[in-house]
A and B are shown apart, each in its own frame.
Chain A
Amino acid sequence: MNAVSVGLLENTLNWRLPSKGHVGMWCLIAAEAAIFTIFVVAYLFYIGKSTTGPQPKDVLHAPIFYSVCLLASSLTIHIALLKIRAGEMAAFARWWLVTIALGCVFLFGTAREWNSLIFRDGLTISTNLFGTTYYSLVGLHAFHVTMGLLALITIALFFFTAKLRREHSDRLEVLSMYWHFVDVVWIVVFTVVYVIGT
C-alpha cells in the first residue's frame, strides 16, 4: 500500500519532534503578544494627549500588593507542576488552589481600582484618551487573566472529580505557559501604565 517505506532507517528509531502542545501554545503566545503590542503602542502614543482631565498622575496609584500576588502565582503554578510530576496529588491540589486564589485576588484588585476610578474620579472609557487607552489595555489583560482562571478552575474540577492523573502533567505545563505569559504581560502593562504613564 505505502510504497514509500524504504525500510527502517537508522534515524527512524530515534526520530524526535517537538511536542505539538508546546509549539501551539508558543504560537498562540506570539499572536497574543502582537495584539498586546498594538494596545501598548496606542497607550504610549496617547500619553499626555488627553484634552480633558483626569490625568494619570492625579488618579493612578501603583497596585503593588496585587501585582505581587499575580507574579507570585507564576511561582505557585510552577511548584504545583513539580508536585504533579512527582505524583504528589494532594500537594499539587494545594498549590493549584493557591494559584487560583492569587489570580482572584489580582482581579479583585483591578475591580477595586476601576470602582474607585469610576465613582470617585469620574473616569470612564469615554471620558478622555487616558480613560480610553487605560481601560482597554488593563481590561484586555484582565480578560486574559479571567480566561486563564477559567482554565485553572476547569483543571481543579477535573481534580475533584478524580479525573486528573499524573500523566496529564504535560498538558498542565502547556496551560502554565499561558499563565506565565499573562504574568509577563502584566509586568509590561504595569511599567507602561504606572511607571512611564505617570
Chain B
Amino acid sequence: MNRITLLALAIIATAVISISPASAGPTLDAVRARGTLNCGVNLGLAGFSAPDDKGDWTGLDADFCRAVAAAIFGDKPKIKFVPLAAKERFTALQSGEIDLLSRNTTWTMSRDTTQGLTFSVVNYYDGQGFMVKKAAGIASAKDLKGATVCVQSGTTTELNLADYFRTNNLDYRVIVFEKQDESLAAYNAGRCDAFTTDASGLYAERLKLGAVDDHIVLPEIISKEPLGPAVRQGDEQWSNIIRWTQFALVGAEELGLTQANVSDQANAANPEIRRFVGAEGDFGKGIGLQKDWAVQVVRAVGNYGESFERNLGSGSRIKIARGLNRLWTQGGLQYAPPIR
C-alpha cells in the first residue's frame, strides 16, 4: 500500500471513529481499567527513548513513562511503549492510541492552544544546534552561508532553521527527510554540510556515526526548545498527574531523596519529606492516586538527577552536561512547587 493511502486511512479512522477518551471520562479511569499505560516515545533517540540490547526502553522520556505508571499502579507498573515518528505523534495522542506523549516534544504556543494538546511541565530544557564534519573547517553557524542542511520533517527544527538563516541573511538549502535516521545518513554521506536538531539530539545521534570525533557540534544554540510531556486537552486530573510526577522527580532531588533511600523515610523528621512520602497528609488523593504515589515514582526511576545522569549525563555514553537542567539551587531551571 502506498504512503498516501495509509496516511489517509489513519486520518479517516481518527476523524470518523468517535474519539471518546478525552471527553467521556478521565484518562486515569481508562488507564486503570486497561491495566496498562500507553506511552508514546521516540523511535530511537539515545538518552531520551531507545530500546537497549535487551529490547527494554531506556532514556529520560522512557523513565518518565515509568514514573507515571509507577504513580498509578505502584510497584507493578505496566507500560506499553508506542514508538512514534515526529509527524505521527500528535495524531496518535489525539486519536487515543496513547495516553501520554513523552517524546522530546517542544512546548510551543500553537501546539498548546490550537491542537487539542496540553503541555504543563518541562522535563528537559533544550535548544537547537548544528553538527558539522570537523574536516569541513567550520567553526561557527555563521560560516554556513550557502550550505546544505539535513533535517527531519514535522518538527519545530525546520522553522527555527528558516528563521535563523533569514535573520542572519544567509542563504542555504534544506533537505527534509521523514525519519531522523535517513536525515543523519544523508548528512554522513556528505549530501549535507550540516545536520540540525536539538542539541541533546546532536550528541545522541553523533554516537551512531561511528567515528564520533570526526563531527563537531557548533557553539550556537539558535532556539529555545522546552521539551516536555503532552496529554490531550480537557482532562485536568490527568494533566495534574503528569505535571506532579515531574515535580515529584525534581522535588525528590531537592530533598535529597534517591531510589536507594526513598523507601526508608517513614520516620523522617523533615516535614517536607514527611509530606512527600505520605507520612503526613494525603496529597495523592487530590490527583486520584495512593498516599505513597511520590515514593513509587522515585522507587521506579530515582530522582530527576539520577535519571538524568543515568540516561544523558556522566553515567551514559552521551555525557551531556546538565546545564540549564540543573536544579534552581545550582543555577539551573529545574524547580518543583512545594507539596503542601
A, B from the same assembly:
no
